[in-house]
Structure 1
Amino acid sequence: MDHTERLRVLELYSGIGGMHYALKESSVLAEVVAAVDVNTTANEIYKHNFPNTPLLPKTIEGMTLQDFDKLNFDVILLSPPCQPFTRIGLQGDVADPRTKSFLYILELLPRLSKRPSFILLENVKGFETSAAREALLKTLRECDYSFQEFLISPTSLGIPNSRLRYFLIARRPPGSFSFPASAEIIEGFPMSESSNSLAVPHNHPTASECEREKTGTVIFKLETEEELERKRIQDSQETVRRLQDFLQEDEEGMDQFLLPPKTLLRYALLMDVVQPSSRRSVCFTKGYGHYVEGTGSVLQSRVDVELEGVFKSLELLSEEDKLKQLSQLKLRYFTPREIASLMGFPADFSFPKHISIKQQYRVLGNSLNVHVVSQLIDLLISK
């Protein structure tokens, strides 16, 4: 199939524009003809960064078949709500009202006057065992798409952040994928001649990186020998970059990101602490900066203080001494800009002035890794 003509792309559940940035980063000649999302904050940020892209602030179910046909698109990029499929959520799956719009898309797909040549979908790990996924695959088969499913974390591309996600790419004939497709879900990227960077060996994270289950004897900081060893192995992966490459150099204004005393005292033993030299960080979720446990790593700013030494005898100290000891580490949250960088958003991505830090964390936690999606777009639409 000849892609010298600019492909017309429909971006559904567009959020803050992660898919759009991935498309721009890819080698595909394309334009987003419409983005659709109902979230007001996300839409303000999208419009701020893509002022010339038509943004439809409406529900997908509110769009008719004719509305879709008028857009005359060749590609759908979509990232449906993930809460129905997370282990932290209620796993309502297709019974969850938030799945309604996705099922509506599946109902419309066979009825479109021109079915899109390419589809890319992103969701959480857990989607691959859902009834929604079964409905998706059934529709794709009926509409004559060939498809490939993946479970990929950004560590596959040397990015020091675990964010294991489900992806599906699908295309209609003529043409086929540039890699050997598999009926199984591929973990990491396939080896491909079309992109050298896909050959990076991937440090595949465990499925429970965001929702850890503890086993074994606790060594320090409520961590088991097994967990400490896993972190040591991650930090020795030389194919993965160090966090310092993604940190803001400007120290000004960083005090607002220091963990408050109450948080230090209450959650110190539960936090995942990383240093600038680390080659890992756990998945950042929408609760980051508000909730502490399981929402993302915190950064140890004072690297001349030994972490283990601070935590070893902590429980024996008074609250005042405990706080004094913990404060030595200068633990802080990653800034929204740093998280955006880890997630592959370019330097020119920004937030409108009135969007609060809490809102910034929230929308980033709901977004996706731009570099991972960019590679998948190239795999999907390679000549």
Structure 2
Amino acid sequence: MEPLRVLELYSGIGGMHQALRESCVPAHVVAAIDVNTVANEVYKYNFPHTLLLAKTIEGITLEEFDSLSFNMILMSPPCQPFTRIGLQGDKTDPRASSFLYLLNILPRLQKLPKYILLENVKGFEVSSTRDLLIQTIENCGFQYQEFLLSPTSLGIPNSRLRYFLIAKLQSEPLPFQVPGQVLMEFPKIGSENPQTHAVDTEKKIEPNICQHGSTRCSGKETVLFKLETTKEIDRKHQQDSDLSVQTLKDFLEHDIDVNKYLLPPKLLQRYALILDIVRPTCRRSVCFTKGYGSFVEGTGSVLQTAEDVQIENIYKSLSNLSEEEKITKLLMLKLRYFTPKEIANLLGFPPEFGFPEKITVKQRYRLLGNSLNVHIVAKLIKILYE
């Protein structure tokens, strides 16, 4: 069978390309297209033999698209028009224009691709851009299914809920297709068991192995000593008790200069009460965004590397101390950022994936925050192809 000819749009650092490799589907990336010059440096470094076009999608004519004669599109269009924290401008956001251009081109191609896979943020599924996408692919004769999936459903200790669409050019529905529904789990393939993304609330909770320092539960009493709700704390306990998920230590680097990644005293002083702190034995971490390492709130978890220090005792002792004493206490936790390599590991990039030396740590965080989970996409490519 001829290998698939794949067009990778908004290629970034190559998460889709990596997923294609992992899926073991016979395929060849005919071209990758992205306008981000730093991301393109990383892409070239890891996929030196792929044709990489550093141009906007609107800058590619219908004829040029036709000349690539691809039969699969993998894409991750800009998510800013649809994010929770953005302006949610949807179709009116200038950053959506390249995708709208693409939807206009698709029906006019000489030969339609057989497969499409798209990734975006949660929120895309309720946008008018999504409605236009569905209308376009239905008119072209595609059968499709939408998903909201997080890496935790594959046993990866990182929450990163994302929207996915897979579409196939055929007249009969996909075997697992549920029209009008966004699935929260992978469909069964053959004899496989479905993997649910949600933590089963009926699941018996094992003793909590990771004391992530948000609470102490004695009987029904929950002790709050950080800016968290009881509900958040219960959710974290539940995540840490889910033995189907690996512990973070499986994803950590061991030969790093820890001092390079320690949180500075000033940050500790200002943000101590809102940090999401995890330990190597935890089975969870929050979504790493492109602001990780530059901003603190909501950009990703930090790691407590002092193993013998009880976080609870540290936090409880803070209230009567001077600012200087508080910092001294907090420094005992040895809190550090995850390294770019560790975040890449959690995102499913293989050990050989790397960055050119000239790409700064800040740039690496930014690029990874804009990337996707490789394992999830690999599994969806397989499902789509089979």
TM-score normalized with structure 1 length: 0.93
Letter in 1 for 2:249: Q
- Other-structure match for 1:356: 360
Aligned to 2:104, the other structure's residue is in SS state helix
Give the CA RMSD over aligned residues.
1.5
Q: CA deviation at 1:201?
A: 3.8
Q: How does 1:281-320 map to 2 (within 5 A)?
A: 281-320=285-324
- Supply the AA of the counterpart residue of 2:151: P
1:169 pairs with 2:173 = no
Q: 2:198 aligns with which of 196, 203, 211?
A: 203
Query: What is the SS of the residue equivalent to 2:118?
Result: strand
Q: Aligned pair 1:224/2:224, yes or no? A: no
Q: Residues 70-129 of structure 1, C-alpha deviation per residue, up to 9 Å, x if partnerless?
A: 000000000000000001111110000000000001000000000000000000000011
Runs of 4 or more off by more than 4 Å in structure 1? Answer: none
CA 1:204–1:55 in 2, change beyond 3 Å: closer, same or farther?
A: farther
**Contact 1:272 1:296 (C-alpha < 8 Å) held by counterparts:** yes
Q: Provide the rounded CA distance (Å) in 2 between the counterparts of 1:129 and 1:200.
A: 24
Across the two proteins, how many residue pairs are aligned to each other? Answer: 365
Which residue, out of 54, 60, 68, partners 1:57?
54
Supply the AA of the counterpart residue of 1:50: F
Q: How does 1:302-381 map to 2 (within 5 A)?
A: 302-381=306-385
Distance 2:197 2:149 in 1: 9
- What is aligned with 1:5? 2
Give the Å deviation of 1:224.
1.9
Provide the TM-score with structure 2 as the length reference: 0.92
Q: Corresponding residue for 2:261?
A: 257
Distance 2:187 2:320 in 1: 51
1:37 equivalent to 2:49? Answer no
Q: Give the conservation status (yes or no) of the 8 Å contact 1:158–1:200.
A: no
For residue 245 of structure 1, what is the amino acid of its counterpart? D
Aligned residue for 1:86? 83
**TM-fit CA distance, 1:309:** 1.2
1:90 and 1:180 mapped to 2: Cα distance?
32
**1:177–1:379 Cα contact (<8 Å) kept:** no
Secondary structure at the residue paired with 1:137?
A: helix
Say if 2:244 is the partner of 1:239: yes
Contact 1:37/1:43 (<8 A) preserved: yes
- 1:300/1:330 contact within 8 Å kept: yes
2:199 and 2:76 map into 1 onto residues whose CA distance is 22
Structure 2: distance between partners of 1:225 and 1:96: 37
SS at match of 1:169: strand
Q: Percent identity?
A: 61
2:208 corresponds to:
none
Q: How does 1:65-104 map to 2 (within 5 A)?
A: 65-104=62-101
> Distance between the aligned counterparts of 2:107 and 2:173, measured in 1?
20
Deviations 1:277-303 (A, max 9, x none): 000000000000000010000000012
Partners of 1:161 and 1:281 within 8 A in 2: yes
Identify unmatched segments of 5+ residues in structure 1: 206-216
Q: After superposing the two structures, state which structure 1 stretch, 316-325 or 232-241, moved more.
A: 316-325
Q: Aligned in 2, Cα 1:17/1:82: closer, same or farther, shift over 3 Å? A: same
Contact 1:18 1:369 in 2 (8 A): yes
1-structure distance, mates of 2:91, 2:104: 14
Verify the 8 A CA contact 2:6 2:29 in the aligned structure 1. Answer: yes
- Supply the distance in 2 between the matched residues of 1:289 and 1:204 (Cα, whole angstroms): 29
What CA distance in whole angstroms lies between the structure 2 residues aligned with 1:201 and 1:85? 25
Structure 1 residue 176 displacement after superposition: 5.2
**Shift, 1:202, TM fit:** 2.9
> Could you tell me how far apart the structure 1 residues matched to 2:248 and 2:12 are?
26
Question: Quick one: which amino acid aligns to residue 78 of structure 2?
Answer: P
Counterpart code for 1:33:
V
Task: Tell me the distance in 1 between the aligned counterparts of 2:174 and 2:150.
Answer: 21
SS class of match (1:219): coil
Shift of 1:199: 2.9
SS of equivalent to 1:379: helix
**Superposition deviation, residue 190 in structure 1:** 1.9
Structure 2 counterpart SS, 1:349: coil
Q: Secondary structure at the match of 1:80?
A: coil
Q: Distance in 2 between matches of 1:312 and 1:260?
A: 21
After superposition, what is the alpha-carbon deviation per residue over 1:156-201, rounded to whole angstroms, capped at 9, x for unaligned? 100000000000000001675343444300012122227x4x6334
1:218 CA drift (Å): 7.9
Q: Measure the CA separation in 1 of the matches of 2:369 and 2:239.
A: 22
| Aligned-partner SS, 1:150 | strand
Q: Which moved more, 1:300-309 or 1:132-141?
A: 300-309
* Residue matched to 1:20: 17
| Counterpart contact for 2:184–2:196, Cα < 8 Å | no
Q: 1:307, CA displacement in angstroms?
A: 1.1
- Does structure 2 conserve the Cα–Cα contact (< 8 Å) formed by 1:33 and 1:71? yes
